[in-house]
C-alpha cells in the first residue's frame, strides 16, 4: 500500500483525452505524515481482500489495493467497482472504479493498470516508440495498452449507455442533485509500474514517459554473470513472484545469488523471464532486474492499428 501510494505513473496519455492523473494523497486525505499512521491502523478485515492466497494475477491484486485505499482513506468514498457496461447482453467493457472525494460529491471514474515493460534496442518504430516496450511474455506492449485506454477504456464512461448505467444506482449526493439531471463524470488514470532498460545496449525512454517513472534493467541469461560482476559492491538477491512485484520484500527474503540462482535459471529456461531484486547493503540500494532466456523475445506485438 505504501509503495502504491508513492509510485509514479509510467506515462502520460497524449491529448485529446481529458484525463487527469491518479488520485493525489491530498485528495485521499493521506498527505504525510497521515499516510504512515493510516497504514498502521488499517484493520485486518480491510486488508483481507488483498491477501487472498488464491489470487495470483497481478492486475487483480493491484485493483484490490485501490479498492482498499479508496474505500478506507479519510478523503474518499468508493462508490462502485468493476461496473459492467452492456448493450443487449453484449458486454462493451467494464469501468474499474467509481469514487467521490469528501470535497466534491461528483463521481470520478478511475481506471488502473500495473505494468512492467522491457525495452527493445531493436524493434517496431523509432527508438522512443512505445511499441518497443513489451511485457515479459511478449503479448502486450505499452503502445497497445495506451491505445486501448485512449480509444476504448476511458471514452467508455462518457457514453450514454455508461452514464445511464451509473445514474441508475447513484444517490443524489453522488450526483450533486436530483437523479434526473445529466451525470457529470470526470476521469482519472493510475498506471504505475516499472520500465526495464536493456543492460547490453542504450535505449531512450518511450514517448510520453513521466520523468519520475520507476526504472529497472533486463539482461539475457547468458549476460547475468557479467551484470552481477559489474555491481559496485557485494549484493544479495530476492526472487519476486507474482503478485508480489510491487514493494521490495523484507531483507529476510534476500539471499546469496549463489544459493538462489540455480533455481531461478531453471525456471527461466523452463517458463521464461523472471524478475529479481538486488540489494546492495553498502549503498542500502535496491535494483530490479528481469533475466530473460537467450532467445527472448520469441514474439513481439504488432503496433496498434492506425485510426482510419
The answer as to whether 288 is a domain residue is yes
For residues 278 and 228, membership in a common domain is answered with yes
For residues 176 and 273, membership in a common domain is answered with no
- Eight-class DSSP state of 283: T
For residues 105 and 153, membership in a common domain is answered with yes
For residues 234 and 113, membership in a common domain is answered with no
For residues 110 and 227, membership in a common domain is answered with no
- Eight-class DSSP state of 205: P
Answer with the residue of higher pLDDT: 56 or 116.
116
The answer as to whether 204 is a domain residue is no
In this predicted structure, what is the pLDDT of residue 300?
Answer: 96
What domain range is 273 assigned to? 210-292
Q: Which stretches of 29-101 are DSSP H helices?
A: 34-41, 44-47, 58-72
**Tens-place pLDDT, residues 207-258:** 999 999 999 999 999 999 999 999 989 999 999 999 999 999 999 999 999 9
Sign of CA dihedral 90, 99, 64, 22: positive
At 18, is the pLDDT very low, low, confident or very high (cuts 50, 70, 90)? Answer: low
For residues 120 and 32, membership in a common domain is answered with yes
In this predicted structure, what is the pLDDT of residue 179?
Answer: 45
The answer as to whether 153 is a domain residue is yes
The answer as to whether 38 is a domain residue is yes
3-state secondary structure (DSSP) of residue 201 = coil
For residues 184 and 64, membership in a common domain is answered with yes
List, in order, residues 6 or more apart from 99 with CB less than 8 Å away.
23, 70, 76, 77, 78, 79, 107, 108, 110
What is the domain count for the chain? 2
The answer as to whether 202 is a domain residue is no
**Tens-place pLDDT, residues 44-102:** 777 876 766 655 689 999 999 999 999 999 999 999 999 889 888 788 889 999 999 99
At 150, is the pLDDT very low, low, confident or very high (cuts 50, 70, 90)? Answer: confident
For residues 15 and 151, membership in a common domain is answered with yes
| Mean pLDDT, range 270-287, rounded to an integer | 96
Answer with the residue of higher pLDDT: 153 or 142.
142
In this predicted structure, what is the pLDDT of residue 282?
Answer: 94
- For residue 71, report the phi and psi dihedrals to the nearest 5 degrees: -80, -20
For residues 153 and 58, membership in a common domain is answered with yes
For residues 143 and 9, membership in a common domain is answered with yes
Question: What's the predicted TM-score (pTM) here?
Answer: 0.92
Q: Please give the share of the chain, as a percent, with pLDDT higher than 90.
A: 70
The answer as to whether 83 is a domain residue is yes
- Interatomic CA distance for residues 239 and 287, integer angstroms: 12
Cell 462508490 belongs to 79
In this predicted structure, what is the pLDDT of residue 185?
Answer: 79
For residues 44 and 124, membership in a common domain is answered with yes
For residues 145 and 227, membership in a common domain is answered with no
Amino acid at each position: 500500500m505504501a509503495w502504491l501510494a508513492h509510485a509514479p505513473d509510467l506515462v502520460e496519455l497524449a491529448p485529446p483525452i481529458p484525463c487527469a492523473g491518479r488520485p493525489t494523497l491530498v485528495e485521499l486525505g493521506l498527505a504525510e505524515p497521515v499516510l504512515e499512521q493510516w497504514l498502521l491502523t488499517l484493520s485486518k478485515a480491510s486488508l483481507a481482500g488483498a491477501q487472498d492466497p488464491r489470487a495470483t494475477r497481478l492486475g487483480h491484486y493491484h485493483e484490490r489495493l485501490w479498492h482498499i485505499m479508496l474505500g478506507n482513506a479519510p478523503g474518499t468514498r468508493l462508490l462502485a467497482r468493476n461496473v459492467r457496461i452492456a448493450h443487449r447482453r453484449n458486454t462493451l467493457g467494464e469501468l474499474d472504479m467509481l469514487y467521490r472525494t469528501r470535497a466534491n460529491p461528483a463521481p470520478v471514474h478511475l481506471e488502473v493498470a500495473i505494468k512492467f515493460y522491457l525495452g527493445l534496442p531493436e524493434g517496431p518504430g523509432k527508438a522512443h516508440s512505445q511499441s518497443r516496450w513489451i511485457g515479459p511474455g511478449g503479448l502486450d506492449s505499452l503502445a497497445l495498452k495506451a491505445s486501448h485506454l485512449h480509444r476504448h477504456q476511458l471514452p467508455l464512461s462518457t457514453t450514454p449507455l455508461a452514464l445511464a448505467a451509473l445514474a441508475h444506482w447513484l444517490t443524489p449526493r453522488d450526483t450533486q442533485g436530483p437523479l434526473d439531471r445529466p451525470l457529470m463524470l470526470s476521469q482519472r488514470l493510475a498506471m504505475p509500474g516499472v520500465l526495464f532498460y536493456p543492460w547490453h545496449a542504450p535505449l531512450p525512454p518511450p514517448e510520453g514517459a513521466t520523468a519520475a517513472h520507476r526504472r529497472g534493467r533486463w539482461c539475457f541469461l547468458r549476460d547475468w554473470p557479467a551484470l552481477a560482476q559489474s555491481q559496485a559492491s557485494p549484493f544479495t538477491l530476492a526472487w519476486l513472484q507474482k503478485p508480489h512485484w510491487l514493494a521490495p520484500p523484507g531483507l529476510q527474503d534476500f539471499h546469496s545469488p549463489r544459493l538462489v540462482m540455480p533455481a531461478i535459471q531453471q525456471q527461466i529456461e523452463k517458463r521464461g523471464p523472471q524478475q529479481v531484486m538486488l540489494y546492495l547493503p553498502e549503498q542500502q540500494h535496491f535494483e530490479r532486474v528481469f533475466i530473460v532466456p537467450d532467445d527472448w523475445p520469441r514474439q513481439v506485438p504488432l503496433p496498434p492499428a492506425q485510426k482510419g
